[in-house]
């Protein structure tokens, strides 16, 4: 299992069903040193699953800035589906969360 930190649409039931074919258990956590901005998504499949063209994206910020979110315990085999969903607007990076856990997160490309 690997952890994925979500601060947005990856927490939605319909997005999880589309990507993983199942509901993923989530745990509260936070990511320090980032802030969110909004971006416009044009991929019809992503807009259809999330229900909106406006998504959040993370950019570096002050060290004490915090983004609340959830960790999802997924398999390595699940990551390519998430990479495709996030598309060219995001890039996946490994981070240390406020809890001390290591997780993947998608930040603004």
pLDDT of residue 15: 95
Domain ranges of the chain: 2-108
Per-residue pLDDT averaged across 15-23, rounded? 96
pLDDT of residue 92: 98
Sign of CA dihedral 31, 107, 105, 52: positive
Tell me the Cα Rg of the chain: 13
* Confidence bin at 33 (pLDDT 50/70/90): very high
CATH topology of domain 2-108: Hypothetical upf0131 protein ytfp (3.10.490)
> Model confidence over 34-58: pLDDT tens digits?
999 999 999 999 999 999 999 999 9
How many other CB atoms are found less than 10 A from the CB of residue 53?
14
> Model confidence over 100-109: pLDDT tens digits?
999 999 999 9
Mean pLDDT of the chain: 96
Structure pTM?
A: 0.93
Give CA–CA dist 86/92, Å, rounded. Answer: 9
């Amino acid at each position: 299992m690997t952890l994925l930190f979500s601060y947005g649409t990856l927490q939605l039931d319909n997005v999880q069903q589309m990507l993983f074919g199942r509901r993923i258990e989530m745990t509260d956590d936070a990511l320090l040193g980032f802030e969110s901005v909004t971006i416009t998504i044009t991929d019809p499949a992503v807009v259809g699953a999330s229900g909106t063209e406006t998504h959040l994206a993370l950019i570096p910020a002050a060290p004490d800035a915090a983004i609340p979110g959830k960790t999802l315990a997924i398999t390595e085999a699940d990551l390519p589906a998430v990479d495709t969903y996030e598309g060219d607007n995001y890039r996946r990076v490994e981070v240390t969360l406020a809890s001390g856990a290591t997780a993947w997160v998608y930040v603004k490309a």
